[in-house]
Chains A and B, each alone.
Chain A
Amino acid sequence: MSLQVEELTVYYQTLKGDVRALEEATFRVADGEIMGLAGESGCGKSTLANSLILLKPPMRLVKGRVTLDGEELPIHDMERMNSYRFERISIIPQYAMNALNPTQKIGKIIADLVRWRQVDFDDILPELKRRLDLVHLSYDVLDMYPIELSGGMKQRVVMVLSTLLNPSLLLADEITSALDVSSQKAVMEMLVSFRGWEFVRSVIVITHDLSILYQVADSILIMYAGQLAEKASTVAIIRAPRHPYTRMLISSLPEVGVKHAERRLTGIPGTPPLLLNPPEGCRFRERCPVAFEKCVDVPPFIQIEPGHFVACWKEFETNARA
């Protein structure tokens, strides 16, 4: 087993009160699994990823436990987490490629980072060069400034950098959203190769784009307004979704091959609730066409088929009857 998250609940503290961004998240990511984490903006997907590696104010851990390879992560302790970050669990944050220090050469940036982990740059240099080679970058980039590289090249540098110490888990937050379609494909395929080359064991890919996850992910976890809605294998989520939100989300996606004149797609009426004082129970119920009285209680996130988890009262009812 690789990552186990239990009842993880994280709020943002604001002057107006707690913003309940993540409620009772319980899920597993198996060894070697690439899990996609998808949802609309503000659904808590980045909060979930960040709380696994850098839980800092105004984020507040309300409860929950995170175990990585059988060892509990001290996510509440900024200092103690230092010995896990980068080595055991690593992240490519959103806009990471724009976060490279523009006044330092790429080689210097990498050297500084590995030194912070008590690794000698010269020791790791041969491996670094080998990996740059694998992602089709020449060693010359080490002697270049970030401004000299294109977006796709910077993203590859960031990927090599974040996985240099072979972490167990990599969190990749919207790594393709600023790239052109051709670079998107190259970057995502590289991520799969990284797992093959054992630079990383498991990956959580955070994105709002389900069609990209369909290409590379083994499983997909769908979130809505801070709650987990559904987790299943990629094929099950795309072809046979069980949660009403997932179903409506997927049927609203325009795709090549779908024309307005032939098939008019429909969106989901309404907007997600505010997470400061969110409604009780299932947070999707106000927009849900099948909501009924039971939905004022929070539905548990339970397994209805092997590997298929869903949090929906209606679905439990249908499932029990079947």
Chain B
Amino acid sequence: MLELEAVSKVYRVGTFGGKELRAVHRVSFDVQDGEVVSLIGESGSGKSTIGKMILRLIPISTGRILFNGVDISTLKGVALKAYYRKVQGVFQDPFSSYNPIFKADRVFRILQQEYFPELSRSEWQDRVENALRAVGLNPDQVLDKFPHQLSGGQLQRFLIARALLLGIQFLVADEIISMLDASTRIDVLNLLADLKAEGLSILFITHDLSLGYYISERAVILYRGCIVEMGLTDKIYNHPLHPYTRMLMVSVPRLDRKWKEGEVQLRGQQSELAGGCVYYDRCPEADKDGSCRSHEPVLVEVEPGHFVACKLYPGA
């Protein structure tokens, strides 16, 4: 369905844009039909940048993103509009996705004007109500309301309903439940899982490891713009191979296990990169002779369906 081929994003920063900031570096992975892939990383790891590139909100620096075999950066005009019928995004903050001076269902009206002008008012109304029921909302309770009259969970489901109205095939879900309350977030997560069962592909972007485990078949672990490990969720969580992933797994707070003392060493600030492994300056396993510093590891398949980029594994 969706395929990323060595995608990189370099931002120009500094007063005159003289400096380069490497947000995403040669990232390749794919999402199959009806699959949920979690993209997991800390803040600044480039996970949202990847989502925005898939949605064509920012241009790609190098590499290609293919959707059903078509390079999306070539899409223009009608073809681009057709692309957005199949691919949509929902973002972290539901409140900032709405214009507060209009009623929330305006998002549906805009959609009709753009994509379904031929439908009559009542036909469209039926579709909207069906979509709202599909995301677990009661249309009588939520239509004709302003954004501030609805809860975060309701607004977030509104946006998912909007995407469903288009009959999308691929959803970029960028931290969509991190602003929701614990008692309601699980319902939105279950909703995604139900949609997936009906054939929707989802790129689930998150920093929360437990959410990624709950919903996805495969996970991609990102660190400073590079994929350090990817593969089947079970393998990554139960048998992490990269030192960074291992550190993540022991630091994640769990209700069934307490932290052990001294498992995580905090090191100082990360230095600027000049080739080599991105995790070099925090890695407890880094070669002191400096080979980790000078050689950029590549992803190798250590066991079936489990890729890791670390010199500890032969071939990397």
Contacts and interface: CB of A to CB of B under 8 A. Distances in A.
B182 A184 contact: no
B255 A267 contact: no
A185 to B, nearest CB: 4
A236 interface: no
Contacts of A118: none
Of the candidates B184, B190, B253, B256, the one having the most CB atoms from chain A within 10 angstroms of its own CB is: B253
B95 interface: no
B183 A254 contact: no
Contact of A254 (B151, B189, B263): B189
B253 A252 contact: no
Say whether chain B's binding surface is mostly helix, strand, loop, or mixed.
helix
Interface residues of A, number: 41
Please classify the interface of chain A as helix (H, G, I), strand (E, B), loop, or mixed, using the class held by over half of its residues: loop
B121 interface: no
B272 to A, nearest CB: 14
Contacts of B193: 260-261, 264
B186 A267 contact: yes
A186 B264 CA distance: 7
A180 to B, nearest CB: 4
Size class of the B contact interface (CB-based, 8 Å): 35 or more
Contacts of B209: 181, 256
Contacts of A238: 255
B214 A182 contact: no
Interface string A230-262: 000000001000000000111011111111110
Interface in B181-196: 181-187, 189-190, 193
Contacts of A150: 269
B207 A186 contact: no
Contacts of B211: 254
Interface string B254-277: 111011010110100100000000
Contact of A180 (B43, B253, B258): B43
B42 A260 contact: no
A183 B265 CA distance: 9
Given A256-B209, A260-B214, A268 B255 contact: no
Given A185-B253, A211-B255, A267 B266 contact: no
Given A152-B266, A180-B207, A260-B193, A254 B213 contact: yes
Interface stretch (B15-23, B27-35, B244-252): B244-252
A40 B248 contact: no
B186 A254 contact: yes
A152 B282 CA distance: 14
B258 A267 contact: no
A209 B253 contact: yes
Nearest to A264: B190
Contacts of A264: 190, 193
B237 interface: yes
Contacts of A271: 151, 153, 184
10 contacts: A185-B264, A186-B264, A253-B186, A254-B189, A256-B213, A257-B237, A258-B210, A264-B193, A266-B187, A267-B183
Given A185-B259, A257-B256, A265-B189, 8 more contacts: A181-B251, A184-B251, A184-B253, A252-B183, A253-B210, A253-B255, A254-B210, A255-B213
8 closest A-B pairs (Cβ-Cβ)? A180-B42, A268-B183, A211-B253, A40-B181, A254-B214, A267-B187, A267-B186, A185-B251
